């Protein structure tokens, strides 16, 4: 018995010594990486490690350095994310890759030239089979990819014909897709792919659309709301996150799909549809919302009331009769105003036109119709009329006026140009652009939104 124990102990000691020798002799991936670093890569690693030091650099400083040295740092970033560690360049031990460090590298990859990142990513990431490598690949290709990479993300996140995938792959897929959706034609590609999307990826796919806050996703979400009882609720939640686009006909299509769900058997879907109609500021379905103020379900009544207040800017109590009277009065006022905005008036004497412009801002409804009707005033011969028209467009906040306001950026009067710029900022939410060329380039790059 003692001899057996001694033999076992001797064997264990021998195995331990062999393993120790193997560890000491076999260089780690981390040490190999360090030995092959050039000066730029060494500085990049030191900057990343310094983020955990006593006097850390700013995230922007580290990110800018990686971007400025893209050709030297792109491989390094990919390798660090794959290894999940940051090696020591001199003394010290490797750091486990932090969320902050990974986020900085991903942000840098998104800013690097796409062809540079793709060349490295194709070489280091494509063909990955291990779960973590697939997650990294999803996240990286989402940062620089295009519509042709949509199928790649789906294939990485869920094997063909598989009914389930892992939580990590779903998260990586969602993260990558939410960045990819902002690229041209990706939303259209996702729309075509929805019917064949694996069940395991439908939830993260819809969530990614909401994460992106990009109106390009609205047509797909509208289709899901209309045709899918299972996913309608989640799709409506994403519409609420995204809000209206700068394409009013598109907003009306989405609003119609939401209005159809106001009769749904699931009260939660009806409640969410009410709130989403409020977020879109949809005026076409006010009557249905007013009807819901008498519903037996209190949650639904409250949702309809909130939507009405959001659309109208009014704070009337949740009373059907009061809202009905208000709605009829406002619609009649808009109709009368539109009838007065004839072509002779819009190009005629300044004084009566200025009064009409001021009156139009007192109306609570019809902002898109009014903006469309008032557009000719932006080209009036009188400076004050053009200035006032720009300010009215700011208050109406209708995307229908964008093209006319772009033209007004070239107005000979400084005040008119400034007012047109303020109106564009108010309508689009975009700042930092000034010249007509900058605005046209911006809008052209996002033509799917308008």
- Range list of H helices, 296-382: 298-312, 320-340, 343-346, 350-360, 367-374
- Per the CB < 8 A criterion, the answer to whether 222 and 179 are in contact is no
- Cα separation, 336 vs 328, whole angstroms: 12
Overall average pLDDT of the 128-151 stretch: 96
- Is residue 274's pLDDT more than 90? yes
**pLDDT of amino acid 8:** 41
The β-bridge partners of 85 are 96
Q: Catalogue the E-assigned strands of 81-193.
A: 85-86, 95-96
The β-bridge partners of 96 are 85
- Is residue 131's pLDDT more than 80? yes
| Enclosing H/E stretch for 395 | helix 383-396
- Per the CB < 8 A criterion, the answer to whether 422 and 390 are in contact is yes
The β-bridge partners of 86 are 95
Overall average pLDDT of the 191-211 stretch: 95
- Cα separation, 432 vs 29, whole angstroms: 45
- Per the CB < 8 A criterion, the answer to whether 224 and 254 are in contact is no
323 exposed, middle or buried (CB, 10 Å; 0-12, 13-18, 19+)?
A: buried
**pLDDT (tens digit, 9 = 90+) per residue, 54-76?**
999 999 999 999 999 999 999 99
- Is residue 30's pLDDT more than 80? no
CB atoms within 10 A of CB 166: 14
- Range list of H helices, 186-297: 186-193, 199-212, 218-227, 232-242, 248-260, 267-280, 286-291
Percent of the chain with pLDDT over 90: 81
105 exposed, middle or buried (CB, 10 Å; 0-12, 13-18, 19+)?
A: buried
Q: How far from the centroid of its chain's Cα atoms is residue 237's Cα?
A: 14
Break the chain into its structural domains and give their ranges: 215-316, 330-449
Average model confidence (pLDDT) across the chain: 90
Question: Phi and psi of 96, rounded to 5°?
Answer: -70, 135
- Cα separation, 51 vs 365, whole angstroms: 52
- Cα separation, 405 vs 126, whole angstroms: 47
Overall average pLDDT of the 145-156 stretch: 96
Helices (H) and strands (E) in the chain, counts: 26, 2
- Cα separation, 124 vs 127, whole angstroms: 9
Structure tokens at 258: 């939401």
Overall average pLDDT of the 76-95 stretch: 91
- Is residue 48's pLDDT more than 80? yes
Q: Is 95 helix (H, G, I), strand (E, B) or coil?
A: strand
- Is residue 16's pLDDT more than 80? no
Closest CA to 294 of 282, 284, 302, 283: 302
- Cα separation, 310 vs 290, whole angstroms: 13
Closest CA to 380 of 355, 426, 418, 416: 416
- Is residue 40's pLDDT more than 80? yes
29-38, 47-56, 178-187, 329-338: least confident range: 29-38
Closest CA to 39 of 31, 29, 47: 47
Structure tokens at 349: 């004497």
Q: What is the CA radius of gyration of the chain?
A: 29
| Enclosing H/E stretch for 421 | helix 414-428
Instruction: Name the CATH architecture for the domain at 215-316.
Output: Alpha Horseshoe (1.25)
pTM recorded for the entire structure: 0.84
- Cα separation, 416 vs 425, whole angstroms: 14
Overall average pLDDT of the 413-428 stretch: 94
């Amino acid at each position: 018995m003692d001899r057996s124990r001694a033999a076992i102990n001797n064997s264990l000691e021998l195995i331990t010594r062999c393993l120790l020798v193997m560890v000491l002799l076999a260089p780690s991936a981390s040490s190999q990486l360090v030995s092959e670093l050039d000066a730029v890569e060494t500085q990049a690693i030191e900057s990343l490690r310094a983020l955990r030091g006593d006097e850390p650099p700013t995230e922007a400083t580290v990110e800018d350095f990686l971007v400025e040295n893209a050709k030297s740092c792109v491989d390094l970033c990919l390798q660090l994310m794959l290894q999940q560690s940051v090696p020591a360049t001199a003394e010290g031990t490797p750091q486990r890759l932090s969320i902050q460090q990974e986020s900085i590298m991903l942000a840098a990859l998104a800013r690097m030239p796409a062809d540079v990142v793709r060349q490295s990513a194709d070489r280091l990431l494509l063909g990955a089979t291990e779960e973590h490598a697939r997650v990294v690949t999803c996240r990286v290709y989402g940062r620089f990819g295009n519509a042709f990479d949509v199928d790649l993300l789906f294939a990485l996140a869920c094997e063909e014909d598989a009914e389930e995938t892992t939580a990590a792959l779903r998260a990586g897929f969602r993260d990558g897709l939410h960045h990819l959706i902002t690229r041209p034609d990706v939303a259209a590609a996702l729309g075509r792919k929805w019917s064949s999307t694996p069940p395991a990826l439908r939830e993260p796919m819809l969530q990614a659309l909401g994460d992106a806050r990009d109106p390009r996703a609205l047509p797909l979400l509208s289709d899901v709301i209309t045709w899918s009882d299972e996913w309608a609720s989640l799709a409506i939640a994403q519409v609420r996150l995204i809000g209206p686009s700068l394409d009013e006909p598109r907003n009306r299509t989405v609003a119609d799909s939401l209005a159809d769900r106001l009769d749904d058997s699931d009260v939660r879907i009806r409640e969410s549809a009410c709130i989403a109609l409020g977020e879109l500021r949809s005026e076409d379905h006010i009557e249905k919302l007013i009807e819901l103020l008498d519903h037996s379900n209190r949650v639904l009544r409250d949702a309809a009331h909130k939507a009405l207040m959001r659309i109208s800017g009014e704070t009337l109590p949740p009373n059907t009769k009061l809202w009905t009277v208000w709605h009829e009065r406002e619609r009649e006022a808009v109709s009368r105003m539109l009838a007065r905005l004839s072509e002779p008036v819009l190009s005629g004497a300044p004084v009566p036109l200025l009064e009409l412009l001021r009156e139009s801002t007192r109306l609570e409804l019809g902002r898109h119709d009014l903006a469309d009707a008032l557009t000719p005033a932006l080209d009036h011969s009188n400076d004050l009329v053009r200035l006032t028209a720009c300010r009215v467009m700011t208050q109406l906040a209708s995307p229908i006026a964008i093209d006319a306001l772009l033209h007004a950026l070239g107005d000979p009067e400084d005040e008119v140009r400034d007012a047109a710029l303020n109106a564009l900022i108010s309508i689009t939410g975009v700042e930092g652009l000034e010249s007509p060329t900058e605005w046209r380039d911006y809008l052209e790059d996002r033509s799917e939104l308008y």
